[in-house]
């Protein structure tokens, strides 16, 4: 009796770009989740180029994460790793891969930062003034930077997903899709209002922040296109712009990120916390839209002389004298 050999069906060859679009295009994610996944997958595609999903190795993924977010906080590194775990799990279910290579990439252990170290991640007010007046910067990028600082908005999930219809110039506020997909209001100052007015002149619909090049037909979802064919600005492009600007201002310091603008806004507001503070911690929570005091605690740093001033202010005997 001769043996028979059954040939298993070959794994369909699917490119990384196509697989990523199918993954994020499903009607099962909140807009903020889609934006976060797209940020990670756009960066992976930019790093590896057009490559077949089945050929991507764990070593390539680890090298990508290290080169892109190796110097970032463990929470940031782990967030992008989790996005890749979800994506490659989807590719396995679709039959495009036999295994999930991200399972071999270890998550990072979160390290506790001292209050001083957390505060030092903020960009100084002087450097922010330099950033907001930097020469040879597109209006689009300048507007995004000022808006991120003034609103304390999450750049990738909220500000870059803004549409023109979401912006209320008269009342200096905008509607964003917050965590969980809930609609939330963010508020901005007069500097953002002036820049937005210039940026949106003549536009009534479509994404607020646009790429500088038109998209090829059929490559971008209609919701991410302006009426004249320009796609929504990607997080990767926005991140590259703020990183380059930071190097011009502080070449030897840590890399500048869009999140550091939000972080800086909250830290600078927390600078005034103390016995004579104008704003309370609940007010800062309302603007930052953090759900717990513990989340805001990491932004507040009070030097020892603040404790001394508070003690003096509460010293009733000393005040009677």
pLDDT grade, residue 305 (50/70/90)? low
> pLDDT tens digits for 44-75?
998 998 899 999 999 999 999 988 888 777 88
Rounded to two decimals, the pTM is: 0.63
Q: Which residues of 196-211 are buried (b: 16+ CB within 10 A; e: fewer)?
A: beebeeeeeebbbbbb
* pLDDT of residue 8 exceeding 50: no
The answer to whether the CB of 206 falls within 8 A of the CB of 233 is no
Q: What domains lie within the chain, and their CATH numbers?
A: 16-104 (1.10.150.130), 118-270 (1.10.443.10)
> pLDDT tens digits for 159-193?
999 999 999 999 999 998 877 667 888 999 999 99
Q: Which residues contact 81 (CB under 8 A, 6 or more apart)?
A: 65, 102, 105, 107
Which pLDDT score, from 0 to 100, does residue 307 have?
Answer: 56
More confident call, 219 vs 115 = 219
pLDDT grade, residue 273 (50/70/90)? low
Which pLDDT score, from 0 to 100, does residue 134 have?
Answer: 92
* pLDDT of residue 34 exceeding 90: no
């Amino acid at each position: 009796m001769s043996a028979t050999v059954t040939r298993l069906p070959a794994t369909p060859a699917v490119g990384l770009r196509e697989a990523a679009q199918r993954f994020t295009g499903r009607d099962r994610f909140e807009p903020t989740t889609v934006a976060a996944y797209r940020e990670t997958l756009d960066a992976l595609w930019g790093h590896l180029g057009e490559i077949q999903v089945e050929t991507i190795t764990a070593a390539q993924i680890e090298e990508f994460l290290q080169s892109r977010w190796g110097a970032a906080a463990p929470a940031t590194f782990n967030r992008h790793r989790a996005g890749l775990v979800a994506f490659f799990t989807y590719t396995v279910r679709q039959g495009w891969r036999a295994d999930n290579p991200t399972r071999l990439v270890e998550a990072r252990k979160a390290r506790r930062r001292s209050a001083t170290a957390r505060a030092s991640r903020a960009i100084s007010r002087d450097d922010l003034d330099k950033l907001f007046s930097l020469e040879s910067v597109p209006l689009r990028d300048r507007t995004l930077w000022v808006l991120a600082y003034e609103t304390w908005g999450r750049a990738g999930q909220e500000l870059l997903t803004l549409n023109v219809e979401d912006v209320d110039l008269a009342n200096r506020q905008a509607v964003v899709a917050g965590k969980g997909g809930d609609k939330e209001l963010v508020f901005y100052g007069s500097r953002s209002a002036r820049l937005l007015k210039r940026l949106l002149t003549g536009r009534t619909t479509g994404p607020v922040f646009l790429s500088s090049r038109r998209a090829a037909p059929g490559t971008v979802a209609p919701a991410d296109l302006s009426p004249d064919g320009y796609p929504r600005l990607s997080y990767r492009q926005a991140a590259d712009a703020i990183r380059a600007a930071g190097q011009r201002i502080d070449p030897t310091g840590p890399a500048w990120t869009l999140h550091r603008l939000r972080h800086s806004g909250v830290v600078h507001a927390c600078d005034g916390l103390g016995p004579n503070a104008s704003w309370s911690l609940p007010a800062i929570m309302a603007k930052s839209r953090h759900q717990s005091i513990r989340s805001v605690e990491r932004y507040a740093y009070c030097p020892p002389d603040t404790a001394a001033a508070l003690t003096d202010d509460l010293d009733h005997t000393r005040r009677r004298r």
